[in-house]
């Protein structure tokens, strides 16, 4: 059964948001300057759902949960068949996998994630 595997938080000021979440929850947040992305560790490996943070790309950008699936393409088709929409086509995260951003039937954004070390 597909499950939530990752979350992302957009931030107008990522450094300010980093301090907020570190001070509030004690999360470990590491900046990856080559991607201008922040990895968020919410707890011990295998026990916690971890995520990321980046600079907000658009005023309406909201947090997104990613669902781990075996094929982003087949699930994207299901999304459309059920009345949802694809708002960002299949995109690689080199060496890690692929993602697609969707809207559900109520206009809520979510991501589909397919792990693939060969993604480029």
pLDDT, tens only, 58-86: 999 999 999 999 999 999 999 999 999 99
Report the number of distinct structural domains present in the chain.
Answer: 2
How many CB atoms within 10 Å of residue 39? 14
Q: What is the pTM of this model?
A: 0.90
Both structure tokens of 96: 């890690």
pLDDT, tens only, 5-61: 999 999 999 999 999 999 999 999 999 999 899 999 999 888 899 999 999 999 999
> What CA–CA distance (Å, rounded) separates 120 from 97?
8
Q: Are residues 12 and 45 in the same domain?
A: yes
Can you give the pLDDT at residue 45? 82
Q: Are residues 50 and 83 in the same domain?
A: no
In a domain, 29, yes or no: yes
Can you give the pLDDT at residue 56? 96
Can you give the pLDDT at residue 113? 98
Q: Are residues 41 and 80 in the same domain?
A: no
Q: Which domain holds residue 41?
A: 8-56
25, 27, 50, 117 from 98: Cα distances, Å: 29, 26, 17, 9
Q: Name the strands in the sheet holding 3-11, side by side, starting at the edge strand that comes first in the sequence.
A: 28-32, 37-41, 51-55, 3-11, 64-68, 109-115, 97-103, 85-93
Can you give the pLDDT at residue 46? 82
CB neighbour list of residue 120: distance below 8 Å, 6 or more residues apart:
92, 94, 95
In a domain, 62, yes or no: no
Q: Are residues 75 and 47 in the same domain?
A: no
List the single range of 58-62, 97-101, 109-113 with lowest mean pLDDT: 58-62
Q: Are residues 73 and 109 in the same domain?
A: yes
């Amino acid at each position: 059964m597909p499950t939530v595997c990752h979350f992302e938080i957009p931030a107008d000021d990522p450094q300010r948001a980093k301090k907020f979440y570190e001070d509030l929850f004690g999360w470990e947040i590491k900046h990856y300057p080559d991607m201008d992305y922040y990895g968020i560790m919410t707890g011990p490996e295998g026990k916690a759902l971890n995520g990321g943070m980046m600079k907000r790309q658009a005023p309406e950008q909201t947090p997104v949960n990613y669902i781990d699936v075996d094929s982003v393409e087949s699930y994207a088709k299901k999304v459309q068949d059920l009345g949802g929409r694809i708002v960002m086509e299949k995109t690689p995260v080199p060496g890690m996998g692929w993602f697609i951003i969707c809207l559900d039937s109520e206009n809520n954004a979510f991501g589909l994630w397919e792990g693939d070390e060969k993604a480029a």
